[in-house]
A and B are shown apart, each in its own frame.
Chain A
Amino acid sequence: DIQMTQSPSSLSASVGDRVTITCRASQNIRRYLNWYQQRAGKAPRLLIFAASSLQSGVPSRFSGSGSGTDFTLTISSLQPEDFATYYCQQSTNTPWTFGQGTKVDIK
């Protein structure tokens, strides 16, 4: 199975900060990498698919990059509604696997 490792596991930031979360795959997953946001008590929400494609309706302050084994999710200017947990997920083959999550909370 492909292991997905996110860093950091948690971070504290302020509104307006630029936030970067990284995700590393244990083998080459090309660009089959997706990012999800999960607010407390809610279902996950797709933010980015195929490493860098913004899902419809997602604010443009979210962006993704990378290919192969190393990927990044960037929030250009953190907003109050962005305090949540973020997960990367590979879909190059089954079992699809998620990173352990990165919790973004208020500094």
Chain B
Amino acid sequence: EVQLVESGGGLVQPGGSLRLSCAASGFNLRNYWMHWVRQVPGKGLVWVSRVNSDGSYTRYEDSVKGRFTISRDNAKNTLFLQMNSLRPEDTAVYYCAREGEGNDYYLDVWGKGTTVTVSS
């Protein structure tokens, strides 16, 4: 079964750091571009970051640039999101998602999400 499982969320103080992980199973992560998307409870979806299959190309949403870093370990079939200088407005459920194959650019597999709460 194709699956993504996020972990690493939790409660952190403003200015703190967290590292989210996303473990892939049922497919070879090295063949896919990957994304992080977040959602404040009760609000809409917000794209956060994208990484290509070997980790050499990354893109970020403006509000997280310089604070968040997306990376991957293809040997361990795992995607990461290092989050530094966290702010209360980063509080959200964070989903990792797989970009589908081909040139149509969509997110075809999603994890169940991990919750990040930034509060003192």
Contact = CB atoms under 8 A, between A and B. Distances in A.
Interface of A: 32, 34, 36, 38, 42-46, 49-50, 53, 55, 87, 89, 91-92, 94-101
B44 A50 contact: no
B27 interface: no
16 contacts: A32-B105, A34-B106, A36-B107, A44-B37, A44-B45, A44-B110, A46-B106, A50-B104, A50-B106, A53-B104, A89-B106, A89-B107, A91-B106, A95-B62, A96-B105, A101-B44
Interface of B: 35, 37, 44-47, 50, 59, 61-62, 95, 97, 100, 104-108, 110-113
A42 B113 CA distance: 9
A95 B44 contact: no
A100 B95 CA distance: 17
User: Which A-B residue pairs are the 8 nearest by beta carbons?
Assistant: A91-B105, A49-B106, A50-B104, A43-B110, A96-B47, A94-B59, A34-B106, A98-B45
A101 to B, nearest CB: 5
Contacts of A96: 35, 47, 50, 105
A43 B4 CA distance: 11
B66 to A, nearest CB: 15
A92 B46 CA distance: 16
Nearest to A100: B44
